[in-house]
């Protein structure tokens, strides 16, 4: 089966083709328009998706050496995400499906981040997955495909959101996550100890306290100090965020006794998190899976592989497929 995947839930218009063995193409059109505003402007995102979606899908088909007749089903993100952005992808995919008589498959964006790990090698079940993106943070236990138990999630900001908000306070360009990562690699993670919330028990996360602490710290120290010590502050912030993520991940692996552990979502591109997760996998003797860099942040390859997995199970949708903004 060959699947065309389309992603438009946030600020990336993406399309990919997967034939069950290989990702034949993976095209991402990022929306630069939001940089000026220091965050995503939903209405501008929908308009940009609308402008680029046809070209992006055409490019994905061309690069895969396919035409629409070679596609067996079309998969699309149905949520969670920005409603206007989701609608553009969904309407486009429904149109493709109707006009070309191809089955339609709705994909949950968070599932897709997780199943991005299946593109190159299939992890064994059961596994624990830490999904850390810009909008959501959750720790799940998965014992069979599409059956997951949520062990914990964030009570306030998502991990990526914390990076982005802190980046903004530090005067870094949007999105702050990759910028802080770059700076942190040149800094001292022990420069300042920012708070780590809810470390001692449970699987829940909270990052808003860290953001507030950084805000007061930077006000107290002043702009010049912050700029002079930017690398050290970024390293200390990254250390605090990744410490919390890794402690919870370790607790989940120990409690469930799984032998496979997965990272997923935009923040899984973070170099410090990847390093700490590798260390954890050696310490607990579990196999670690982290998506390739291009499959960490939003992409359509993850939609295509998840669509493929659903198609294999005979799980298709019809024209009644609806978008949803919030997590299921």
Which residues would be at the binding site for ligand KG4 (CB under 6 A)?
Answer: 10, 113, 133-135, 160, 163-164, 175-178, 181, 265-267, 269-270, 297-298
Return the DSSP state at 41: -
Q: Which of residues 292-311 bind Zn ion (CB under 5 A)?
A: 298
Tell me the closest approach of the beta carbon of residue 327 to Zn ion, in angstroms.
12
Binding of residue 111 to Zn ion (CB under 5 A): no
Of ligand KG4, Zn ion, none, which one sits near residue 242, judging by CB under 5 to 8 A according to partner kind?
A: none
String of contacts with Zn ion for each residue 248-287, x by CB under 5 A: ----------------------------------------
Token couple for 294: 């291009």
Binding of residue 77 to Zn ion (CB under 5 A): no
Tell me the closest approach of the beta carbon of residue 203 to Zn ion, in angstroms.
21
The 3-class secondary structure across 110-125, one letter per residue, is HHHHHHHHHCCCCCCC
Taking the least distance from each CB to ligand KG4, the nearer of 97 and 194 is 194
Of ligand KG4, Zn ion, none, which one sits near residue 218, judging by CB under 5 to 8 A according to partner kind?
A: none
Stretch that binds Zn ion, among 221-229, 247-255, 291-299, 314-322 (CB under 5 A): 291-299
Tell me the closest approach of the beta carbon of residue 259 to Zn ion, in angstroms.
26
Taking the least distance from each CB to ligand KG4, the nearer of 8 and 133 is 133
Beta-carbon contacts of residue 248 (< 8 Å; ≥ 6 apart): 130, 139, 152, 202, 203, 205
Taking the least distance from each CB to Zn ion, the nearer of 75 and 214 is 75
Of ligand KG4, Zn ion, none, which one sits near residue 177, judging by CB under 5 to 8 A according to partner kind?
A: ligand KG4
Stretch that binds Zn ion, among 80-88, 131-139, 164-172, 283-291 (CB under 5 A): 131-139
Tell me the closest approach of the beta carbon of residue 231 to ligand KG4, in angstroms.
15
CA 145/CA 3 separation, integer angstroms = 18
Are 6 and 73 contacting, i.e. CB atoms less than 8 angstroms apart? Answer: no
Q: Contacts with Zn ion: how many residues (CB under 5 A)? A: 2
Taking the least distance from each CB to ligand KG4, the nearer of 84 and 134 is 134
Tell me which residue of 232, 260, 237, 156 sits closest to 198, measured CA to CA: 156
Taking the least distance from each CB to ligand KG4, the nearer of 127 and 163 is 163
CA 96/CA 71 separation, integer angstroms = 11
User: Please, what's the b/e burial string for 224-242 (b: 16 or more CB within 10 A of its CB; e: otherwise)?
Assistant: eebeebbbbbbbbbbbbbb
Measured from the Cβ of residue 257, the count of other Cβ atoms closer than 10 Å reads: 9
Are 271 and 241 contacting, i.e. CB atoms less than 8 angstroms apart? Answer: no
Are 103 and 319 contacting, i.e. CB atoms less than 8 angstroms apart? Answer: no
Tell me which residue of 15, 3, 5, 110 sits closest to 55, measured CA to CA: 15
Binding of residue 133 to Zn ion (CB under 5 A): yes
Of ligand KG4, Zn ion, none, which one sits near residue 175, judging by CB under 5 to 8 A according to partner kind?
A: ligand KG4
CA 93/CA 77 separation, integer angstroms = 10
Task: Please report, in angstroms and rounded to a whole number, the separation of the first and last CA atoms in the chain.
Answer: 28
Taking the least distance from each CB to Zn ion, the nearer of 116 and 170 is 116
Tell me the closest approach of the beta carbon of residue 100 to ligand KG4, in angstroms.
29
Of ligand KG4, Zn ion, none, which one sits near residue 176, judging by CB under 5 to 8 A according to partner kind?
A: ligand KG4
User: Please, what's the b/e burial string for 273-288 (b: 16 or more CB within 10 A of its CB; e: otherwise)?
Assistant: bbebbeebbeeeebeb
Q: Which residues bind Zn ion (CB under 5 A)?
A: 133, 298
């Amino acid at each position: 089966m060959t699947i065309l995947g389309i992603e438009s839930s946030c600020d990336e218009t993406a399309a990919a083709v997967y034939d069950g063995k290989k990702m034949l193409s993976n095209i991402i059109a990022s929306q630069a328009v939001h940089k000026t505003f220091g965050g995503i402007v939903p209405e501008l995102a929908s308009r940009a998706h609308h402008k680029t979606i046809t070209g992006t899908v055409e490019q994905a088909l061309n690069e895969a050496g396919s035409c629409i007749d070679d596609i067996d089903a079309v998969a699309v993100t149905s949520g969670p995400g920005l409603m206007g952005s989701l609608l553009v992808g969904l309407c486009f995919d429904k149109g493709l499906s109707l006009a070309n008589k191809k089955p339609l498959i709705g994909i949950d964006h968070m599932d897709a981040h997780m199943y991005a790990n299946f593109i190159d090698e299939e992890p064994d079940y059961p596994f624990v997955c830490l999904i850390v993106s810009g909008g959501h943070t959750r720790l799940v236990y998965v014992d069979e495909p599409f059956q997951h138990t949520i062990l914990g999630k964030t009570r306030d900001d998502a991990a990526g959101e914390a990076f982005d908000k802190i980046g903004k306070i530090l005067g870094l360009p949007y999105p702050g996550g990759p910028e802080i990562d770059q700076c942190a690699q040149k800094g001292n993670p022990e420069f300042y100890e920012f708070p780590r919330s809810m470390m001692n028990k449970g699987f829940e996360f909270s990052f808003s306290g860290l953001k507030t602490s950084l805000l007061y710290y930077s006000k107290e120290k002043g702009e010049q100090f912050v700029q002079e010590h930017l690398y050290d502050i970024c390293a200390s912030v990254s250390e605090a965020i990744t410490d919390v993520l890794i402690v919870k991940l370790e607790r989940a692996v120990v409690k469930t006794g799984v032998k496979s552990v997965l990272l997923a979502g935009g923040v899984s591109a973070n170099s410090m998190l990847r390093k700490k997760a590798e260390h954890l996998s050696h310490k607990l003797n579990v196999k670690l899976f982290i998506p390739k860099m291009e499959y960490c942040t939003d992409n359509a390859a993850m939609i295509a592989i998840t669509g493929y997995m659903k198609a294999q199970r005979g799980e298709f949708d019809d024209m009644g497929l609806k978008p949803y903004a919030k997590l299921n």
